[in-house]
Structure 1
C-alpha cells in the first residue's frame, strides 16, 4: 500500500479522500491555492503545500506545481478527486514518468474515453447501444447539417472534450442549428480548449441512469448497481438516488452488464461511471463514460456498503478486487442532495459569501460530505457546492422522509449567501418525484408550474 498520497483537488472531495487514507494508515498531502489556505482539508491533512493563486489554471490545474509538491513531499501516489486533472491523460502520463502512481485509469484509456466522440465509437464496437448521430466529431457546420438531416430533430450538440453538463446545446429545429453550432463551438473552445462537437439524437422525457463499475489490473470487473440522476438543471445534477425507482429488473441487468462489457473492452482500471439515457419506451443508450469518481458516488457507497475511494486505492496499488459480483446486491434506498450556494430564484446564480453559521444535520443513517465551517469564505473562484447530504433507509418512502428531515435541520447563514435547500425540499415533495416518474425535464417543468402559480414568467 502507498505510504503517502497527495490529493490534487480541493473542497469536500479532497477531505473525503483524506479520511479514507487516514483509515488505511496512509499519510496525506493537501495542495491548496491562496484562497484555500484555511480550508478544512488543509487542517485535516498531515502536510499541506501552497501551489499558487486562486485561479484554478494557476493552481489546481497547474501540473508543474502539483508534481513539484508530490516529489518534494515524497508522495508515491496522487488521487485527483473529480474535476480539475482527474480526466487529463497528460497528467496521468506525467505522474507515470515521475514514478508516481496516478489513482485512476492508464493514460491511454483516459485519452480514448475523454474524447467523447471516440468513446462513442469504441463503445458501439463493444456492442453497447448508442444514439443515432455522428460517427465522430463533425467537420464544420456543413457536415453538422448533413448529420441533422439524417437523424432528424430534436438533436443535441456536445463538446468532444466536454463534461459536467457544459458544452451542450439542444436544437429542436433546422433554423436553430447555425446559431447553436457556433455558440456551442465558442463555449467549448473557451471552457475546454477544444471546439470540436459531435451530434446525437436528443431523447425527450428521458431518464438519466448511470452504472458504477470497478476494474482491477488483473482482468476483474464488477458493477455496483445503478443510480438515477434525472433531477437536474442545465444538465447538472441536483438529487441522485440508488437504486433507480421504477426501473424493470431486466433493464437494470442489461445496463449493468453493458457497463462491465464496455469497461473490459477498453482495458479499464479503477472506478468508472457509465452514463445512460433511458427512453420512455424502455430502450437505453450510452451517453458517455467518466474516468473518475462521480460527485454522487456516496449514494452507491450507502446502498452497497463499499468505500469506493478505498477500492480505488487498493486497485491502484495492484491488488485484485476485494469484492465479488455476488456480494454486491444493493440494500435499501439511498438519496443524495447537493446543497449549493446558489439562488434558485435567480436561475441558480452562485451566491458567494462568508459563512457565519454552518450546522449540518445528523441522526441515524445521515451522512454529510462538506468542507464548509463557520467563518469559511465561499469565494467566487470555484464551484458553489457547500455540502452533499446523503441518507439511507430501508425503502424509498422512508429515504425521502429522512432526506426532508435532514435538509430541514440544516442551518446555513452567510453574508449575501443563498442556498438550494428550500428548492430541494420542494422537489422531494413534488408528486412526480414522490411517484418516481420524473425525467430530466422535471425541474424545468416544475419551475414553470411554480411560476404560473405565482403569476410570473418561468426562469
Structure 2
C-alpha cells in the first residue's frame, strides 16, 4: 500500500479522504490556499503545503503547483477528491508523466466520458439505453430545431461539456427553441469554453437514479447498487438515498449491468457513477458518467458497509477489488442531506459569514463505526468547525448529514430528528427547509421526481408564522441570564439580583424584540417564584427549571418547555420543537449605564481591544460623554459616562485586549 498520498482538494472532501487514509496507516499531505491556512482539512493531514491565493484557479485548480507539492513531499499518489481537478484528463496524464499515481480512472476514460455527446455515442455502441435525442456534431440552429420538432416537446437543450445545471434549458414550444438555444450556448461558452449542445426528449416526471460502479486493473467490474437523487433544485441534488424506493430486483440488475457495460466500454478503473434518467414506468436511459467518487457516496457506504475511499486506494495501488458482485449485499436504508450556507427563501442564494455557533447531532465519526449488518446510524462529513468562515471563494457546503435505518421509515425519522438537533448561528442555512422536505408527504411517501420541489413549492415554503409565547419565554430567560453574565454585578447588591428583588414593590420591565418586521414589546413582572410574561395579548406564568450552558428547561403555565438559546450580539436564536426562531432585540447595553452608576464601575460588554482612551484620571465628565472605545467583532463600541461624575482610574491602556465583564474604569458619581 502507498505510504503517503497528497489530497488535491479541500473542505469535507479532503477530510473524508484523510480519514480513510489514516485508518489504513497511509500518511497524508494537504494543500491549501491563502483562505484555508487554518482550515480543518489542513489540521487533519500529516503535512501541508501552501499552493496559492484564495481563488481556486490560483490554487486548487493549479495542476503544476499540486504536482510540485507531491514531488516535494514524496507523495506516491494524488487523490483528487471530487470537484476541482478530479475529472481533468490533462491533470491525470500530468500525474502519470511525473511518476505519480492518479487515484482515479485513466486519462483516456475521462476523455471518453468528458463529452456528453461522445459518451452517448459510445453508450449506443455498448447497447446502453439512451434518451431519444440528437447527440451529433451538427450545431446549425435550424437543424437542431427540426430535430426538436421531430421528437416532440418538451425537449431539453444541454451543453455537451456541461454539468451542475449550467448550460441547460427546458423548451416547451417550438417558438421558444432558438431563444433558449442561444441562451444555453452563451452560458455554455462562459462556463466550459465550449458551446456545443445536444437536444433530448424531456421526460416530464423523471427520477434521477445513479449506479455506483467500481473496476480494477485485473478485469473485474462491479456495481454497488443504486442511489436515488431525484430531489433537486436547479438541477442540483438536495437529498440522496439508497436503495432507490420501489426498485425491483430485476430492474436493479438491468441498471447495474448497463452501468458496468458503460464502464467497460471506456476501459474504466476505480470508482465511477453512471447516471440514468428513469420514467415512472421503470424504463431508464443513460445520462452521463461521472469519472470520480460522488458527493453522495456515503449512502452507498452505509448500505454496503464498505469504505469506497479504501477501495480507491487499493485499486490504484494495483490490488484486485475487495469483493465480487455476488458478495455485495444491501443492508437497510440510508439518506443524505446536504447542509448548505444558503437562503432557500431567497432562491437558495449562498450565505457568507462565520459559524459563530455550531452544534451537531450526536454522531459516529466517519470511521465506519458499524458493520454491514449494523452500520453506524448517523454520520457527519464536514470540513468546518465552529468559528470557521464560509467564504465567497468555494462551495458553501457546511456538512453532509447521513443517517441509516433498518428501513426507509426509520431512516426518515432519524433524519428528521437529526435536522432538529443541527444548530447553526452566524449565517443562513437550508436546515429548516430540509426538515420540511424530509417530512413532506410526497417525499415521505416516495412520490419522487426531479420536479418535486417546484411542484410542492407552497407546502415547502410556507408563510412565516409569529413565534409562540413558549419561544418568546425561552428568549427572555436566556436574555436575563446573558445580562447577568455581561454586567457581572456583585451579588451582594439586592437591587441588582436577577430575581428582581424590590422592597415593597414588584419590578416591571419591557423588552422589545422584532419578529416578521414588527416591533414586539414583551412585559416582564418579577415575582417571588418566577415571572409573569406578557406577549401578543397573552399572559403566562414562567419559571426556570434548569439551565446548562445554552440549554434551557422552563415551565410556561405549567407546561415543560425545552430549548437551546444562543444570544449572538443583538439577536436571540431559539432552537425549540424542531424550529429555529431568530429574534433581534434592543441591546440591553443601552441601559447598562444605570447599573454601572449604582456600583461605580464600567465593564467591557464583550471581549475586545481598547482602541482609544478619551479621558484621564481625575477628569470630570457629564452623562453620556465618551470615555473609551473598544473594538469587537470588527465594530467599535463606545463606553459612555452613565451620569455626571469623575473618572477615578483608567485601568487599561490603548491596545490592551480585555475579556467580557472586565472593569475598564473606576467612576465616581
User: How high is the TM-score relative to the length of structure 1?
Assistant: 0.96
1:447 matched to 2:447: no
1:240 matched to 2:240: yes
Partner of 1:119: 119
Residue 451 of structure 1: CA displacement?
A: 5.7
Partner of 1:428: 438
Partner of 1:374: 386
For 1:358 and 1:236, locate their aligned partners in 2 and report how far apart those are by CA, in whole Å.
25
For 1:91 and 1:247, locate their aligned partners in 2 and report how far apart those are by CA, in whole Å.
38
In the alignment, is the contact (CA less than 8 A) between 1:211 and 1:223 conserved in 2?
yes
Query: Which stretch shifts more, 213-222 or 147-156?
Result: 147-156
In the alignment, is the contact (CA less than 8 A) between 1:220 and 1:321 conserved in 2?
yes
Partner of 2:414: 402
Partner of 1:79: 79
Secondary structure of 1:161 counterpart? coil
Q: 1:317 to 1:358 in 2, by over 3 A?
A: same
Q: 1:454 to 1:172 in 2, by over 3 A?
A: farther
In the alignment, is the contact (CA less than 8 A) between 1:358 and 1:372 conserved in 2?
no
For 1:450 and 1:28, locate their aligned partners in 2 and report how far apart those are by CA, in whole Å.
42
| Greater relative contact order, per chain length (Cα 8 Å cut-off, separation 6+) | 1
1:210 matched to 2:220: no
- C-alpha RMSD over aligned residues: 1.4
For 2:199 and 2:303, locate their aligned partners in 1 and report how far apart those are by CA, in whole Å.
35
Residue 360 of structure 1: CA displacement?
A: 1.5
Query: Which stretch shifts more, 33-42 or 130-139?
Result: 130-139
Partner of 1:152: 152
For 2:347 and 2:324, locate their aligned partners in 1 and report how far apart those are by CA, in whole Å.
44
Q: 1:219 to 1:385 in 2, by over 3 A?
A: same
1:95 matched to 2:95: yes
In the alignment, is the contact (CA less than 8 A) between 2:209 and 2:277 conserved in 1?
yes
Residue 166 of structure 1: CA displacement?
A: 2.3
Partner of 1:269: 269
Q: 1:139 to 1:208 in 2, by over 3 A?
A: same
Query: Which stretch shifts more, 168-177 or 348-357?
Result: 168-177
In the alignment, is the contact (CA less than 8 A) between 1:82 and 1:293 conserved in 2?
yes
Give the greater-gyration-radius structure (CA).
2
Matched residue pairs, number?
Answer: 453
Residue 248 of structure 1: CA displacement?
A: 2.4
1:393 matched to 2:436: no
For 1:297 and 1:263, locate their aligned partners in 2 and report how far apart those are by CA, in whole Å.
17
- Aligned pairs (5 A) from 1:7-406: 7-363=7-363, 365-406=377-418
Q: Which has the higher helix share?
A: 1
In the alignment, is the contact (CA less than 8 A) between 1:138 and 1:197 conserved in 2?
no
Residue 15 of structure 1: CA displacement?
A: 0.5
Residue 450 of structure 1: CA displacement?
A: 4.8
Residue 83 of structure 1: CA displacement?
A: 0.9
Q: Structure 2 unaligned runs (5+)?
A: 364-375, 466-669
Residue 135 of structure 1: CA displacement?
A: 2.9
Q: Structure 1 unaligned runs (5+)?
A: none
For 1:146 and 1:206, locate their aligned partners in 2 and report how far apart those are by CA, in whole Å.
24
For 1:410 and 1:58, locate their aligned partners in 2 and report how far apart those are by CA, in whole Å.
34
Q: What per-residue deviation string (whole Å, max 9, x for no partner) do you get for residues 148-185 of structure 1?
A: 12222111111111122322111111122112111111
For 2:410 and 2:339, locate their aligned partners in 1 and report how far apart those are by CA, in whole Å.
20
